[in-house]
Structure 1
């Protein structure tokens, strides 16, 4: 079964960036996140949308 929500650490591993970078992206609104209690989680679809936006920006340049 595929996870619907990822921890920032899991998202960082998938993106190949640091956990700090993922938190910066969440704080800036570049990557959508949700709160469950005190924990922040990232919908897997939000990661796909983020990468798709980055790819689109690369083609425009």
Structure 2
């Protein structure tokens, strides 16, 4: 089901808090907020906070993967 901002949600989509995302990818909450505000990480605003779909974190990591060597 598409939402008005173009974020695609499916039934059963799991949402994470900014703190959970920061914990999972081992960065600060401020870094997650920067990623959200820059558009690099999809998020849905709920009141005054953001919720990030789990698939968006996986996409961010897969497209940010860098192989050294």
Tell me the TM-score normalized by structure 2. Answer: 0.73
Query: Rg bigger for which structure?
Result: 2
Instruction: Name which structure has the greater RCO, CA cutoff 8 Å, separation 6+.
Output: 1
Structure 2: state its 5+ residue gaps. Answer: 1-12
Number of residues paired by the alignment? 55
Structure 1: state its 5+ residue gaps. Answer: none
Question: Greater helix percent: which structure?
Answer: 1
Tell me the TM-score normalized by structure 1. Answer: 0.81
Aligned to 1:12: 22
Aligned to 1:47: 57
